[in-house]
Amino acid sequence: MDIVERFLSYVAFPTQSDENSSSSPTTEKQWALLRHLEQELRQIGIADVTLNEDGYLFAEIPATEDAAGPGGSEPPCVAFIAHVDTAAEAPDAPADPRVVAYEGGDIELGHGKALSPSRFPELNRYVGQRLIVTDGATLLGADDKAGVAEIVTAAENVIGSGRPHGAIELCFMPDEEVGLGARRCERSQFAAEFGYTVDGGRTGDYNFENFNAARANVTFTGIPVHPGTAKNKLINALTLAGLYDASLPDERPENTEGYEGFYHLLTLEGSSSGAVSSYLIRDHSREKFEQRKRVMEQKAAELNERIGHELVRIEISDTYYNMRGIMEQHPRVNELALEAYRACGVEPAVAPIRGGTDGAVLTFKGLPCPNLCTGGENFHSEYEYISVEALDKCREIIEYLMTHVQ
């Protein structure tokens, strides 16, 4: 099947996940795409396809008999992984995605929105290409249905071509956008020795490092007194929360980039008698990450000292870690990917992810798993788009990997 036709068939399924749900998948509607994929994988000639009760779809294409390399050893089994859900920041499932031959300038999307190079200068890279865009009312879903379409099309081509290849595993997961995707599957469910998530952005992007992440909950207890007679007695919990936040280093998401870590005040709830702030702590360096946690504890202790009461309490729990340290023990996994990019005429842009990935979680479960590009832009928004050429190039990279791993 043509990759554009396939991609458009996937984005027609609404698959938004829901962080407040405890079912798996978190939303019923993700099943429809998962079941569609289950059928489609069988149709393209894969016999071993399993959709489990939690909504994880696994498929394995056995190695061809002529797969063994010159040394006579069989190539390792490699997994290709993508997620079927979409983010909550914009409504899902575009009613009217369009393919536009882009000649530069603004593209009127509809619903009062336009894709303009003045706001998105990277559009200039795509002059002369065909862009798949939304109607301005929803996200497109290239994150990560482009990844799914690229993997399925690459697998179909590899099977159809009769070329020799090692064992190939495909895995499509729900709920990546709510941080649950890889958390609810186990290393033992994979036959692969290593894998790649196909969940990155622009063609050429390659990621094998991500943030170390923790969450801090800071509780402020007030001492309530009638405000008319409060002098030197009342302690306002909200004032404490403000003082605490102001005492932290000014390293916040809005003024950091690249390898710079941050403290992010995510929520502040409460009243003058009691309040709770929650923070995200992020840093690529494990050492600086640990330091940031100590700074938050120290600032809480200093505030308690300053007010003369133990009214500030902090609890910190780690969420995920940077996969870089583990990936460095498996250099061949990165080398193979970068070799595939170059063989397909793409110069790799290796960059640290300012977030986490399903692959980072899987890496810590024992399946080394860096992240390949999908070719998409402006994820999680109505301005999301992907070019037909990028979709096909990323498919080519995956196909190269499927047939060249030795």
Q: Which residues, at least 6 apart from 115, have a Cβ–Cβ distance to it below 8 Å?
A: 106, 107, 109, 123, 131, 133, 383, 385
Say if CB 218 and CB 241 are below 8 A apart: yes
Q: Is 38 a catalytic residue?
A: no
Determine the 3-state secondary structure of 207 from DSSP: strand
Catalytic residue among 18, 38, 60, 85: 85
- Which of these, 126, 209, 106, lies nearest to 377 by C-alpha position? 126
For Zn ion, the closer of residues 141 and 368 by Cβ is: 141
Quick one: CA dihedral 306, 312, 317, 319, positive or negative?
negative
CB of 83 to Zn ion, least distance (A): 6
Least Å distance, CB 18 to Zn ion, is 16
Least gap, CB of 390 to Zn ion (angstroms): 15
Q: Residue 174 CB, nearest distance to Zn ion (Å)?
A: 12
Q: Which is nearer to Zn ion, 46 or 142 (CB)?
A: 142
Reply yes or no on whether 85 is catalytic. yes
Q: Which is nearer to Zn ion, 199 or 377 (CB)?
A: 199
User: Under the rule (CB under 5 A), what is the footprint of Zn ion?
Assistant: 143-144, 199
Catalytic residue among 18, 60, 176, 396: 176
Cβ-contact 335, 327 below 8 angstroms: no
Could you give the CA distance from residue 211 to residue 228 in angstroms, rounded to a whole number? 48
Q: Cβ closer to Zn ion: 171 or 238? A: 171
For residues 272 and 378, which CB has a smaller minimum distance to Zn ion in the complex? 378
User: Which tokens go with 297?
Assistant: 């504890």
- Judge if the upstream peptide bond of residue 75 is cis by omega within 30 degrees of 0: no
- Which residues are tagged catalytic? 85, 176
